[in-house]
Structure 1
Amino acid sequence: MAKIRDIMEFKRKKEKNPICFAEHLKRANDRYHKPPPIKPAEVMSIDQIKRLMGDTGSRQFLKDKGNVRK
């Protein structure tokens, strides 16, 4: 069984191979030009759209009228 100290020493000794700039640029361009995932549009009813816009129905407007001081 490996000890934590052995694992840490192995990780320190591990060498990363440097990549050339052209390869790095190609990878970056591939990530940048990747098309966004296609997601179908959600079908919403008129009531759902009104709720999203803050319209909670006729009761809301009645409350607004009742709060106005004369």
Structure 2
Amino acid sequence: MPFVTVKISRGHSIEKKRRLVEAITNALVSALDTKPEWVTIHIDEFERENWAVGGLLHSDRHRGRHDETGR
């Protein structure tokens, strides 16, 4: 049984999450020749202020480039 954890920034719509889990499920079914009902996906949402790349908080790196949801 494949178990996948996806980390994404908080604020994505439920519709985007539906598309995400459908795409991941389809990819795993194809790649691993498994059944969709055996695929488990956990979405772990994080705040942009709690994520850093290259020594800069993601919220600082992208300040002014996105709306309040980070999109």
On whether the aligned pair clears a TM of 0.5, the verdict is: no
Larger fraction in helix: 1
Larger radius of gyration: 1
* TM-score, structure 2 as length reference: 0.24
Please state which structure has a larger fraction of its residues in strand: 2
After TM superposition, the score normalised by the length of structure 1 is: 0.25
